[in-house]
Amino acid sequence: MAAQWLKDAVFYEIYPQSFYDTNGDGIGDINGITEKLDYIRDLGCNALWINPCFDSPFKDAGYDVRDYKLVAPRYGTNEDLYRLFREAHSRGMHVLLDLVAGHSSEEHPWFLQSQRAERNEYSDRYIWTDSTFQGGDGLPFIGGESERAASYVLNFFKCQPALNYGFLHPSKPWQHAANSPAAMATREALKDIMRFWLSRGCDGFRVDMAPSLVKHDDEKKTGTSAVWRDVRRMLDHEFPEAAMVAEWSDPPLSLRAGFDMDFALNHRGGCYSTLLRDYVNSDGEEDRSYFKKDAGGSINRFLDEYLRWYEDTKDIGYISLLTCNHDTPRPRRTLDETELKLAYAFLFTMPGVPFLYYGDEIGMRYQLLPTKEGGYQRTGTRTPMQWNRGPNLGFSSAAPEKLYLPVDPAPDAPTVESQEADGSSLLHTVRELLALRHRMDGLKAGAPFSVACSEPGKPFVYRRGGLLLAVNPDGAASSAEVPCYGRQLVYAIGSCTPEEGRLTLGPQSFAVLS
């Protein structure tokens, strides 16, 4: 059963090195997040997901963890993070940390011991072959770099050796079973990390690459799911209100594996990508997204997959829709402010637990930048938060050349300050939408959802609890034949005309009727 607080949760994702710098070194920090908690709360977000903030060589922006129990010095101290937990809780907010479960940094003490020639406590903490000249049985591997005469399996980049959770069906002498002593020791080490942070005020975890644990797993991820169900049993017993959200994007599997939430991620051709990033080419020059005005997108391309997921999982957990994340081009790359307002109105009124990526509330742009810390094309989504028109757009007092990444150089770069002063801004619309979600039971995470009209050329009309909602992203007015008798308009972007058996929306409009 999902943590009860998730029923009314709206998350704000923070890339810590880019959010707010309080000590002038050009890198955001934990104290910067604490200082901005009131802003986040007033925005309507009552929960945080903080991208990795643990000690790391930062070859992959912190997703290469060197010490799971130590805050990276560039962000502050453990005490700073404990204070953030306390300050968030005093405001009725919850905090999830990013848990990298499938691999560590190659500089982690576990790996430094594991690669030694002499057998030791950590020899089997990672996946090693029997010989330096032996490959990884179809898995990516590195050979010739360790004292140990063996190759080791990778989980992602070269800097990220895979932790050993075993193989579903071992077929080589060096492959451990998923219930072997070595694999179980890794599983218990993971639980130990989780207990450490949960006992100090953390409210749960977003799990990076959640389906990647057990190797040569089957299509149903039988082995990996068993690991997560075991973790879930520990949480239910020791931390029953702790929450987990999976980077998996397969809710029928992940939610049955013990996760409270799973993201609908931006996989090319997946349901979520059709809404905001249906690019013909990866450069985003042509966009057929549903929320791109007159682009010819169809909501049914989203619904085909989403409805299958929703009907299968609505009683066991939540599907999380997001504006963006640190791996995805910002939606402002191709959508203008009006298009974003409609997209957010949809995302924030759908079932499940929504996530807002920092800066999306003001329409921060995607930047074309050289790679930083393994970001590559993702780097342009990770630029500093834009607070005001001051130096570095209010992010840091450091010299511009010392910033983690450069701020948007455009004269019209959006800022919180400028949008605060404009009552029609995207920022104000986000606040209105999130206030509406918190106020109305029909918009809570688990309120029922059904489709009333998804015909091409007509508004998309859907029900949440007793509410009727509709969106028309196109540049011409359109109508749907749905019963509206006795309904009252609660909220609108653009124009809406409800009649007894018909609902008409003006160009680029959204409406909620009670």
CATH number at residue 416: 3.20.20.80
**Does 406 share its domain with 282?**
yes
Residue 209 lies in a domain: no
**Does 373 share its domain with 357?**
yes
Residue 79 φ then ψ, to 5°: -60, -35
Decide which of 164, 183, 211 is a domain's last residue. 164
Burial per residue of 380-389, b for 16 or more beta-carbon CB atoms within 10 angstroms, e otherwise:
bbbbbbbbee
Total tally of structural domains belonging to the chain: 3
State the burial class of residue 78 (Cβ atoms within 10 Å of its Cβ: 0-12, 13-18, 19+). Answer: middle
> Which is nearest to 264 in space by CA: 326, 353, 185, 335?
353
CA dihedral 290, 293, 296, 299 (to 10 degrees): 20
What count of residues does the chain have?
514
Residue 216 lies in a domain: no
**Does 394 share its domain with 505?**
no
> Which is nearest to 150 in space by CA: 131, 136, 134, 135?
131
Residues 6 or more apart whose CB falls under 8 angstroms from that of 199 comprise none
**Does 392 share its domain with 305?**
yes
Rounded to an integer, what distance in angstroms lies between the CA atom of residue 40 and that of residue 50?
13
**Does 316 share its domain with 387?**
yes
Residue 95 lies in a domain: yes
Residue 358 lies in a domain: yes
**Does 319 share its domain with 435?**
yes
Residue 59 lies in a domain: yes
Domain that holds residue 153: 106-164
pTM value surpassing 0.85: yes
> Which is nearest to 16 in space by CA: 37, 31, 5, 38?
31
Return per-residue pLDDT of the chain as tens, 514 residues: 579 999 999 999 999 999 999 999 999 999 999 999 999 999 999 999 999 999 999 999 999 999 999 999 999 999 999 999 999 999 999 999 999 999 999 999 999 999 999 999 999 999 999 999 999 999 999 999 999 999 999 999 999 999 999 999 999 999 999 999 999 999 999 999 999 999 999 999 999 999 999 999 999 999 999 999 999 999 999 999 999 999 999 999 999 999 999 999 998 889 999 999 999 877 777 899 999 999 999 999 999 999 999 999 999 999 999 999 999 999 999 999 999 999 999 999 999 999 999 999 999 999 999 999 999 999 999 999 999 999 999 999 999 999 999 999 999 999 999 999 999 999 999 999 999 999 999 999 999 999 999 999 999 999 999 999 999 999 999 999 999 988 999 999 999 999 989 999 999 999 999 9
Cα distances from 389 to residues 49, 364, 386, 409, in angstroms, run 27, 14, 8, 11
Residue 245 lies in a domain: no
The answer to whether 419 and 430 are in contact (CB under 8 A) is: no
H/E stretch holding 303 reads: helix 299-313
Q: Across the chain, which distance is largest between two alpha carbons, in Å? A: 80
**Does 112 share its domain with 94?**
no
Residue 62 lies in a domain: yes
CA dihedral 206, 209, 211, 217 (to 10 degrees): -160
